[in-house]
């Protein structure tokens, strides 16, 4: 391969925007730009809701904000941007609702990779979830059987269209198995989530951290806070438990506006609970390094959790239900932590108590998790995609 000749377009939500996968897009863009055979990464990003300064990402990364969330014009805007930029290849960083939380806009956006390939661009998709792997009963479609059936049917069609891209990677083995069965001729590969570059940060022992529990997400749908708040109250009431803090980072899910604010108002006089709001990318390391435990109060899962990877790489011991994709992620990547039954505040309180009381065991888990996630750095993921896009098949490494 000729060195320093490849220009890659990356389609992704991107900071300082706050949409899903924006942090992954940032770290992946940096890892791509660091590849010696890549001369430029052009990020075709989501338009911002308000004017904000773009990040300073160096000379090899350029951001163009060309598409809007929930716009049915997204495919044509992306194709026009590709015709204008003429990259050597395109990588799409996607989940099922990347382009909208309305069925039509979401579906049309997900057709863009196949359209780009038909227009002549080699296109690879990073699929963080697939419709067939989502429990729709645990989403905003709960109880809407007819609408769920439509989403399933449409999702199957869109998934087949996405598989018409040059290749697709998935982050969980179960997703690879589903797609291989459904679309046997498609080029589907299991490529793990990868670990964000945290600047080789020094390890912060748990004993040196405050007695603090953290959580982060977009809350209100399948990511909830009621069980965690109830468990935190019960934990504080247990004999011998020292004073504790609970710090909640994140915002409402777009489909549940006002959810976090209502809970915050109910806790305004509770000195042990604080709502930190959106945690900017540069503040994420300190957020997790300032906590001993990171709790995931989920009723369902929709893919390989980026927040779980961040918590693991920064040493906060995860506490999560062993359901759905959490089970697959633990099996595939060797992550572990404390566990509880979804919705069971007593079980969650006990899991948190046990890990806080046994610092040595918690430290062992934290270090093992960090070793597991750091075994697959984002640089390796980026190198895989560059090889897949431009090299002969025999030169593409395997993560299996």
Q: What is the pLDDT of residue 205?
A: 95
The predicted pLDDT at position 2 comes to 45
Average pLDDT over residues 356-365: 96
Report H helices in the chain: 22-33, 74-85, 103-110, 112-118, 145-162, 173-182, 226-236, 259-266, 284-289, 306-313, 324-333, 345-357, 359-374, 378-390
Query: With bands split at pLDDT 50, 70 and 90, how would you rate the model's confidence at 104?
Result: confident
Model confidence at 137: pLDDT above 60: no
Q: Which residue has the higher pLDDT, 139 or 324?
A: 324
Tens of pLDDT, residue by residue over 271-280, are 999 999 999 8
Q: What is the mean pLDDT of residues 307-312?
A: 89
Q: Determine the pLDDT at residue 306.
A: 79
Which domains are assigned to the chain? Answer: 6-193+376-395 (3.40.50.2000), 206-374 (3.40.50.2000)
pTM: 0.85
What local confidence, expressed as pLDDT, does residue 134 receive?
A: 61
- The average confidence (pLDDT) of the chain is 88
Give yes or no for a contact between 125 and 113, defined as CB atoms under 8 angstroms apart: yes
* 327 CB-contact burial (10 Å; exposed 0-12 / middle 13-18 / buried 19+): middle
Tell whether the model's pLDDT for residue 198 goes beyond 60. yes
Please compute the mean of the pLDDT values over residues 225-246 and round it to a whole number: 96
Closest of 132, 107, 119, 130 to residue 165, by C-alpha = 119
246/214 Cα distance (integer angstroms)? 6
| pLDDT higher than threshold 60 for residue 233 | yes
What does the pLDDT read at residue 94? 94
For residue 277, give Cα distances in angstroms to 49, 218, 261, 280: 17, 10, 10, 9
Average pLDDT over residues 183-195: 90
Tell me whether residue 267 is exposed, middle or buried, using C-beta atoms within 10 angstroms of its C-beta: 0 to 12, 13 to 18, 19 or more.
middle
Average pLDDT estimate for 269-297:
93
Strands across the sheet with 338-339, in order? 273-277, 245-252, 212-219, 293-295, 317-320, 338-339
Greater confidence (234 vs 96) lies with 234
């Amino acid at each position: 391969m000729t060195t320093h000749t490849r220009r890659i377009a990356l389609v992704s939500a991107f900071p300082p925007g706050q949409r899903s996968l924006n942090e992954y897009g940032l770290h992946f863009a940096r890892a791509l730009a660091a590849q010696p055979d890549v001369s430029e990464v052009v990020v075709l990003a989501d338009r911002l809701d308000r004017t904000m300064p773009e990040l300073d990402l160096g000379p090899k990364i350029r951001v163009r904000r060309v598409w809007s969330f929930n716009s049915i014009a997204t495919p044509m805007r992306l194709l026009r941007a590709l015709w204008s930029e003429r990259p050597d290849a395109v990588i799409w960083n996607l989940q099922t609702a990347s382009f909208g939380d309305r069925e039509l806009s979401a579906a049309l956006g997900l057709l863009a990779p196949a359209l780009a390939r038909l227009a002549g661009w080699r296109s690879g998709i990073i699929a963080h979830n697939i419709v067939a792997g989502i429990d729709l009963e645990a989403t905003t479609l709960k109880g809407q059987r007819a609408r769920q059936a439509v989403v399933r049917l449409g999702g199957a069609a869109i998934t087949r269209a996405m598989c018409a891209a040059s290749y697709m990677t998935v982050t969980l083995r179960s997703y690879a198995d589903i797609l291989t069965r459904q679309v046997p001729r498609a080029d589907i590969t299991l490529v793990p989530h990868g670990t964000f570059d945290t600047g080789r940060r020094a390890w912060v022992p748990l004993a040196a951290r405050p007695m603090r529990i953290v959580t982060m997400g977009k809350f209100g749908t399948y990511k909830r806070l009621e069980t965690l708040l109830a468990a935190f109250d019960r934990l504080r009431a247990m004999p011998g438990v020292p004073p504790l803090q609970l710090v909640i980072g994140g915002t409402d899910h777009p489909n549940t506006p006002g959810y976090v604010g209502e809970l915050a108002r109910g806790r305004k006089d509770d000195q042990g609970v604080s709502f930190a709001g959106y945690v900017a990318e540069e503040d994420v390391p300190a957020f997790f390094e300032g906590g001993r435990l990171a709790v995931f109060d989920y009723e369902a899962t929709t893919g390989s959790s980026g927040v779980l990877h961040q918590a693991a790489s920064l040493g906060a011991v995860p506490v999560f239900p062993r359901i759905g994709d959490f089970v697959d992620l633990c099996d595939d990547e060797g992550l572990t932590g404390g566990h509880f039954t979804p919705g069971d505040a007593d079980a969650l309180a006990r899991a948190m108590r046990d890990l806080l009381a046994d610092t040595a065991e918690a430290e062992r888990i934290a270090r093992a998790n960090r070793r597991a996630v750091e075994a697959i750095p984002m640089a390796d993921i980026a190198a895989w995609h560059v090889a897949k896009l431009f090299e002969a098949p025999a030169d593409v490494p395997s993560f299996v």
